[in-house]
Structure 1
């Protein structure tokens, strides 16, 4: 009987081994178990979601976030398969298995570096500007690199050797930064989410992508079973489930966190939403210059969101649906959850839990499968009503949490820490007298990256370019790229606490000769 191509793995077991010992017989369930026992998964408990949890039980970290995304992804997949006609449609599009969606959700944030998205931006700039890596750093691509390359729990000691379906489901942005596919989705008239170049960084490629050039073969192999069913730039159905679940979890649980610690306050959120609802027509009549000049006044930021949505997402945006979403969020988040505050009481805990459960159920219930979505949507999407509600919930989080000056102050310090840490590790690599005492993990990563870039130089030189697009050739240049990628891989594998402790040790501020920062 021919094997399901979605269940094929990349590697055969080592010689003399009849099979790799998994706890589950189902290959997709086995993938889930391989991900869960990975140390890269365990480290997510020490990685920032929005702000460092620092041991607090009140804030999500990347591990608890991933668990909730997995819970939502499985619920979405099972609900869709139970809907009349949906199973046939998803089979036509390449398949939908709850185990695959759940495994992808568990794995989707493995590549997040210390300090979350702040760390992601810092490492990308360092990778491109200091080390000349055209691919830079991207959390989704780093997740795929871990699963296929830098984790060592698979049978060939390279990656986890997951099935094609799970690897493809992790590809939230199924393209490379610059080189694949051709034509590149960044050149589309209305590029998929994340595919466009950053407006302030022309020529650098897509702002979001899911594979470095070193893992391009793995991307192509994972996508092979879906050839002819999906466009090269389209997510698989299971990747689309994971992506939608991530949006749902993000929209709800981070708001819940910041309500519990008193950061998300009733008055400013009520003023913003209430002012827009009361003056929507007047705000819509303001020209762009007037709106920008009054940006700090209540209601103006929400009006700017409405206008951006018309530019980016004309395929689904609707002013009536937007107004209804603002009204619902005002009633249930502001006048419901935030109005009573959080005092740690049983009643407050129950109110917070009920808010989370209600919104999760509502948004999961709004998920549908689209046979022919536009370029800005996956095959799995929210109905128009719920889509607008997610945009408003995410707006509240961004406007009243992420843009707070206190958070900016905290993040500037974290950015400086990561930059200094990379400098210190790079200097250590360049110290011939101390090279023999490098952390073994860093030494191994240098050797791995050198083998990868040497292979690209020999087999696919067109992929080997510097950050400015110029061809890279010569043994020294290849070694330089490998050294840079290894340092980035090493730092990205740390928890928040390990990054701080390692820099303390390297700068002489630590009195302890042994630290878990060196056991990676």
Structure 2
């Protein structure tokens, strides 16, 4: 079947286990170097700053688990959505979204930088498995990781492919409707939003950054949060978000967030609140999708995931709490500026010292690149592959701190 095809044909394997093509894809992602590096890449808090807090690796595992269960309830192949969840952040650079912005600014001459487009590049080119094809995943698995299945377009910050990866992208998308996500990608995308919103709030509460009391007590603070959410995460109006926020703050399930003291009992209650919220977000999407399309099985382009309006707004508000009280907390901007400086300096220094100054993986790629834009892309690839600590250490070695 076309969904199970690989860009580079591989001989059939008879290991006695009878694994499906998507099970093989899942194993390839789990055993990849790019996946291991996620353990030291920032989710919201800087990786390594607190053993309790999530990294890109733990986040990806959680997204995969949520996506697998949600997909299975809809009739998707569970291994296929699992692959998408595990792989969706492989292209993220050091320092999270702040690192994305820094690399996008310095990569304009080669088409910019976007974590999702980089994920496609890692999976199909950079990760070592099959020469010329990266991990050589199946067409369906690659398609399921495409959150933004289009090239860079005016007015859109998000995109899923760089110009020099167009050939593999066109192969992945053969027969797919233009710019449409397959259902498995939509399931992964919603699982990502759910995990991001709920778990980042959990981490924020545990770290002492997020408290519900000021929101419950202050109308101005609630309005400010809703304005942030309308600007960053939602197309809904601030007044509608304010109505949803009032209901959310009155939800008894979120009570453990109000009086958190870090004790065993408080941690258990916080974990319970997290579980309830995830369950609600997942169940609402599954039920609404089945109500529209029937019991399925639903796969590929046979259906779109349906997320009720209020549920999507609740999720956006939780993301907004992490944005306003964690990422934009007092004193954080100085470190964010330093992160951007580190990545910008690394790109410029490595570009000046290439090819001899590049890692053994990237030096030959730089030599084979046909022009300056392609050579810059190779340098960006190396910097994007670094973990947070590795980026800091390399910068100190090359630039003296």
| Structure 1 and Structure 2 fold alike (TM over 0.5) | yes
2:187 is paired with a residue whose SS is helix
User: Residue 112 of structure 1 corresponds to which residue in structure 2?
Assistant: 92
* Alignment map for 1:13-92 (pairs within 5 Å): 13=10, 19=13, 25-54=19-48, 56-81=50-75
Equivalent of 2:366 in 415, 435, 446: 446
Query: For the residues of structure 1 that align with 2:94 and 2:82, how far apart are their CA atoms?
Result: 24
Query: For the residues of structure 2 that align with 1:318 and 1:242, how far apart are their CA atoms?
Result: 29
Query: For the residues of structure 2 that align with 1:239 and 1:439, how far apart are their CA atoms?
Result: 33
Compared CA separation, residues 233 and 76, structure 1 to 2 (3 A): same
Distance apart, 1:55 and its partner CA: 5.6
* Alignment map for 1:14-413 (pairs within 5 Å): 19=13, 25-54=19-48, 56-81=50-75, 96-128=76-108, 132-133=109-110, 135-154=111-130, 156-178=131-153, 197=155, 206-224=156-174, 226-227=175-176, 231-272=177-218, 275=219, 297-304=220-227, 312-313=235-236, 319=240, 323-332=243-252, 336-343=255-262, 345-367=263-285, 368-369=288-289, 379-413=304-338
TM-score (norm 1): 0.69
Distance apart, 1:265 and its partner CA: 2.7
- Structure number with the bigger relative contact order (C-alpha 8 A, sep ≥ 6) is 2
Instruction: Give CA deviations for 1:461-482 in whole Å, capped at 9, x if unaligned.
Output: xxxxxxxxxxxxxxxxx2x112
Compared CA separation, residues 306 and 38, structure 1 to 2 (3 A): closer
2:306 is paired with a residue whose SS is strand
Query: For the residues of structure 2 that align with 1:394 and 1:381, how far apart are their CA atoms?
Result: 20
Contact 2:253-2:276 at 8 Å conserved across structures: no
Distance apart, 1:261 and its partner CA: 1.5
Distance apart, 1:391 and its partner CA: 2.0
Distance apart, 1:395 and its partner CA: 2.0
Query: For the residues of structure 1 that align with 2:312 and 2:346, how far apart are their CA atoms?
Result: 40
Compared CA separation, residues 66 and 20, structure 1 to 2 (3 A): farther
User: Residue 505 of structure 1 corresponds to which residue in structure 2?
Assistant: 397
Contact 1:425-1:487 at 8 Å conserved across structures: yes
Instruction: Give CA deviations for 1:177-208 in whole Å, capped at 9, x if unaligned.
Output: 14xxxxxxx6xxxxxxxxxx1xxxxxxxx310
Equivalent of 1:486 in 368, 375, 378: 378
Distance apart, 1:25 and its partner CA: 2.0
User: Residue 427 of structure 1 corresponds to which residue in structure 2?
Assistant: 352
2:350 is paired with a residue whose SS is helix
Compared CA separation, residues 223 and 341, structure 1 to 2 (3 A): same
1:12 is paired with a residue whose SS is coil
Query: For the residues of structure 2 that align with 1:338 and 1:396, how far apart are their CA atoms?
Result: 12
Instruction: Give CA deviations for 1:262-301 in whole Å, capped at 9, x if unaligned.
Output: 12134433334xx2xxxxxxxxxxxxxxxxxxxxx42332
Distance apart, 1:165 and its partner CA: 0.5
Distance apart, 1:44 and its partner CA: 0.2
Compared CA separation, residues 23 and 407, structure 1 to 2 (3 A): farther
Contact 2:229-2:317 at 8 Å conserved across structures: no
Compared CA separation, residues 71 and 301, structure 1 to 2 (3 A): same
Query: For the residues of structure 2 that align with 1:112 and 1:60, how far apart are their CA atoms?
Result: 15
Instruction: Give CA deviations for 1:281-323 in whole Å, capped at 9, x if unaligned.
Output: xxxxxxxxxxxxxxxx423324536876999358xx994x862
Distance apart, 1:447 and its partner CA: 3.8
Query: For the residues of structure 2 that align with 1:209 and 1:167, how far apart are their CA atoms?
Result: 15
Contact 2:99-2:340 at 8 Å conserved across structures: yes
Distance apart, 1:69 and its partner CA: 0.3
Distance apart, 1:115 and its partner CA: 0.3
Compared CA separation, residues 24 and 398, structure 1 to 2 (3 A): farther
Distance apart, 1:233 and its partner CA: 1.1
Compared CA separation, residues 309 and 63, structure 1 to 2 (3 A): closer
Compared CA separation, residues 242 and 298, structure 1 to 2 (3 A): same
| Count of residues in Structure 1 that have an aligned counterpart in Structure 2 | 388
User: Residue 298 of structure 2 corresponds to which residue in structure 1?
Assistant: none
Output the aligned Cα RMSD. 2.6
Compared CA separation, residues 153 and 333, structure 1 to 2 (3 A): same
TM-score (norm 2): 0.89
Contact 1:104-1:239 at 8 Å conserved across structures: yes
Instruction: Give CA deviations for 1:407-445 in whole Å, capped at 9, x if unaligned.
Output: 22221111111112222212212xxxxx54643123033
Q: Which runs of 5+ in 1 are unaligned?
A: 82-95, 179-185, 187-196, 198-205, 276-296, 372-377, 430-434, 455-477, 510-520
Q: Which runs of 5+ in 2 are unaligned?
A: 294-302
Contact 1:259-1:265 at 8 Å conserved across structures: yes
Query: For the residues of structure 2 that align with 1:122 and 1:309, how far apart are their CA atoms?
Result: 18
Distance apart, 1:76 and its partner CA: 0.8
